[in-house]
Structure 1
Amino acid sequence: MRIIIAGDGKVGATLTRKLSAEGCDLTLIDSNPKVLEASLERYDVMAIQGNCALMSVLDKAEIKKTDLLIAATGADEINLLSCMTAHKMNDRLHTIARIRNPEYSEQIYNMSGEFGLSMAVNPEKQAAIEIERLLKYPGFLQRDTFAKGKVEIVELEIDGKSVLKDVSLNELYGIIKCKILVCAVRRNGVVVAPDGNFILREGDRIYVTAPSTNMSILLKNLGIITHKIKNVILCGGGRVSYYLAKKLEGTGVSVKIIEQDPDRARNLAEMLPETIIINGDASRRTMLESQGIENCDALITLTGMDELNIIISLYAKSSGVPKVITKVAHTEKSNIQDSLQIGSVVCPKELCCNTIVRYVRALEAQTGAAISVHSIVDGQVEALEFLADEHTKNCGMALRDVKVRKNVLIVCITHKGKTVIPDGESKFEVGDTVIVVATGDAVIHKLNDIFD
């Protein structure tokens, strides 16, 4: 597939890495020659310097031979104009634009045809949705939903007090009293696909698959007491804070936003009438103490600096805040982050790029493509949801007789609305939802790709 990525910033660079691994034919457009040089050194791509909204630049990038344009510059208006111009030059073209300004949301929805847009993505809005989901189950570090909410993959940390410390996976059922599957373990930054003899150790992060109905049982039997989030402090008043506060308004959750810039604080107060806006520095201990950090249920660090977010989150953890969520722009330092007590980590850039990669895969394999794709363990593992159809191999066969590729695991099957964690006797039929987890470098586009 031929793809043009317009804008080689954080999102563009991440997309280049992910789509290069998918085997796509990539052309990058950016006005900064140094940024393009860095990408050329790392990846097998074409690069064109210039304004991606100009017909001459798009023509040089061979827009008429391109399947998809992804406009991810730092300016919403340039992204829209680029998509509109490109679609005029090639009406078969698929286009994706990154649109971050909340003022454009309704307009984009109503005028997608005029703009020639196939899809708009908003990293900050996606991050706010992810954070809201984490607040609903504060006992989990991460949470991904499949099969229309019937199945979840959640991340838990084995700390010194965990009942799972020094326990083998074969012994889990006797402790948890419900059927789950540990599909991956991250230990010291290394991902392991465990078998039944694998023994969990303090510091491990485990990724658990289970029907959604079992999640409350899982938390209860692990001794993780969670109560409804009622008081939330947001550190930083950027776009993620705006979207999140907007979603929480009217839900019975009390929200405070601490924002250092007085003009931004004033704007937030006008846009969020039910949210308490504090003009101050969230990195100061006295400020956090005066706003009741010791009594809040959740603290979320959403400033524009990763280092500052991490420092505030560390202090919140040490102050006993039950739920801490940290926004980061870079996941390259995940090994360092794992060793720090900063709670759940959310990366808007990664969420946005995963959505785009899922769209690309659907274009490449229209029949049998994954319904949803989630990157877990900081992108080292993928969880994919498929619908078995008449073209799917091995339907009706017991899984013990099905040969699956190395580093691929079938973790859940939903048949006629009933979800099961499969064993050797399990089978899937046409119409069933099948969830698989893949580690390593294997790229899976269709369900049949998992079979050896």
Structure 2
Amino acid sequence: MYIVILGAGRVGTQLARQLILEKKDVALIERDSEKARDAANKLDCLVINDEGNNLESLTKAGIQKADIFVSVTASDETNLIACGLVSAEYEKVKTIARVRNLDYSRTKMISNSFLGIDHVINPEIEAAKIISYAISHGARSDIMLFENTSLQMRNLTIRKDSIFIGQSLKSVRQHMDFAFLIAAILRDDHYIIPTGDTEIKEGDQIYIISSEKGFETIFDLEDLGKSELNRITLVGGGHISAYVAEELLDQEPESHFGKTRLGRLLNKKQKKSLQIIEKDYERCKELAERFPQALITHADVTEDNFNEEDFLDDTDLIITATNNQELNLITGIYAKTLGVDKAMALVIRNSYRTIAHNLDIDVTVCLNDTVVNSILKIVRKGNIKNVHALSGGKLEVVEFQIEEDSPIAGKKIIDLKLPEKSLIIFLSHEGQDIIPRGDTVIKSGDYVVLILERESVARMEKLISG
């Protein structure tokens, strides 16, 4: 597979690095000479220092032989024009454009083919979805959802008073009378794909597979009972905060993010109180007009007098979603010292997720990961439904559906030649969730969730697609 990427920023280089690990051929186009030079020194791929919205530079990158073209520059207009140009000239090349700030409707851009572009990805909308799901589940941990199943994956940091400390995974499972599996452990910045004999230690971050009801039991055992989130404060009045506000207020969305289950859930219960804190006065006026039900506060969280005001009084959940990831973490930590129960922070880099959890941030949303994971779902071979990154991007949780002609259809798990340090953590067969054993047979139509090292993705693709 040959992939041309336009834009060597953080997302473009992260995506290129991952695709190279998967043994895919990659060409990277970057207009900035310093970024292009840096990419050429760090990545084992063709790097073109040129504009990417003209046929000459695209031809240099080999667009005529490409399978996929991805445009992730900082300019929405450039991404749309470049993808539109490729679509017009090379009909067989699949095109993917990242679009962040342009005020196009979801119906025209994302749902349908716009300018002949195959896929338009809006990272702000994707991040807002993750935030919304986390709120609807109590904002107690990161949450990874899958299709056609009631099972989900969440993380739990093992505190010194945890009931899990010193127990083997085999022992823990014996005491759980519901679907339960620890799929991975992050310990001292190293990941472990555990066995039944693996012992849980203080400070471990464990990734658990269970149902919503199962997690309620787990959180109760860990004294992390669900608290009411009646007063929510959003710090930063950008696009992500606006999308989340639409959901919380159950308001007709300008973004066409849509009225999802969070809005319906909130509508059934008592109304939530929402405050948005934004430092730009003109933006505050826009937000006040758009969200008359919300309290819009003109304030800068970095100013000394912010600490003297009562902006966070009675706040149950703070969501820090400014463009500064360090500020988001610091503000969330500070809010918890003031008595705010839950803190959720937006970060740009995946490496900040571990830092955030070590600093008592309850939920972390990584903007770069939302983009890269969305693109990988499209690029990967096989009927891929979801991709989630763990352990700073070293591990992946991949959900795929078994097609009729898949080489693994009809085989027992024990007979599969899975990559080393990989594990099928659960599957869904005709609506039934199964924590599999070695003799479990994978059948056509099943939804399978696998955890593996990112370096093993190419082998996984070959295994499921042939």
The TM-score normalised by the length of structure 2 is 0.88
Counting only pairs closer than 5 Å after superposition, residues 399-438 of structure 1 correspond to structure 2 as 399-400=413-414, 404-438=418-452
Superposed CA deviations along residues 228-281 of structure 1, whole A, max 9, x for unmatched, are: 422111111122111111221123332211111111212222233332211001
C-alpha distance 67-324 of structure 1, shift in aligned 2 (>3 A): same
Of stretches 304-313 and 144-153 in structure 1, the one that deviates more from structure 2 is 144-153
Root-mean-square deviation (CA, aligned residues, Å) is 2.6
Query: For 1:438 and 1:278, how far apart are their aligned partners in 2?
Result: 45
2:346 is the counterpart of 1:327: yes
Query: For 1:427 and 1:63, how far apart are their aligned partners in 2?
Result: 42
C-alpha distance 267-150 of structure 1, shift in aligned 2 (>3 A): same
Report the Cα offset of residue 37 of structure 1.
0.3
Aligned to 1:372: 386
2:47 is the counterpart of 1:47: yes
Give the match's secondary structure for 1:443. helix
Counterpart contact for 1:369–1:447, Cα < 8 Å: no
Give the match's secondary structure for 2:105. helix
Counting only pairs closer than 5 Å after superposition, residues 44-443 of structure 1 correspond to structure 2 as 44-101=44-101, 103-106=103-106, 108-109=108-109, 112-138=112-138, 140-173=140-173, 175-250=175-250, 251=266, 252-284=271-303, 287=306, 290-333=309-352, 336-361=355-380, 365=381, 368-393=382-407, 399-400=413-414, 404-439=418-453, 441-443=455-457
Give the match's secondary structure for 1:41. helix
Query: For 1:271 and 1:47, how far apart are their aligned partners in 2?
Result: 44
Counterpart contact for 1:177–1:221, Cα < 8 Å: no
Counterpart contact for 2:139–2:363, Cα < 8 Å: no
Query: For 2:198 and 2:18, how far apart are their aligned partners in 1?
Result: 31
Aligned to 2:256: none
Superposed CA deviations along residues 158-194 of structure 1, whole A, max 9, x for unmatched, are: 1123222232222213554423110100011110111
Query: For 1:226 and 1:176, how far apart are their aligned partners in 2?
Result: 20
Superposed CA deviations along residues 67-110 of structure 1, whole A, max 9, x for unmatched, are: 22111111111111111112122122211111112511347438
C-alpha distance 335-244 of structure 1, shift in aligned 2 (>3 A): closer
Runs of at least 5 residues in structure 2 that lack an aligned partner in the other structure: 251-265
Percent identity over paired residues: 28
Report the Cα offset of residue 39 of structure 1.
0.3
Aligned to 1:22: 22
Query: For 2:158 and 2:304, how far apart are their aligned partners in 1?
Result: 29
Of stretches 424-433 and 62-71 in structure 1, the one that deviates more from structure 2 is 424-433
Report the Cα offset of residue 387 of structure 1.
2.4
Give the match's secondary structure for 1:141. coil
Q: Match for 1:53: what amino acid?
A: N
C-alpha distance 136-176 of structure 1, shift in aligned 2 (>3 A): farther
Of stretches 283-292 and 402-411 in structure 1, the one that deviates more from structure 2 is 283-292
Q: Match for 1:255: what amino acid?
A: L
Superposed CA deviations along residues 346-366 of structure 1, whole A, max 9, x for unmatched, are: 1111111111011111xxx3x
The TM-score normalised by the length of structure 1 is 0.90
Counterpart contact for 1:176–1:218, Cα < 8 Å: no
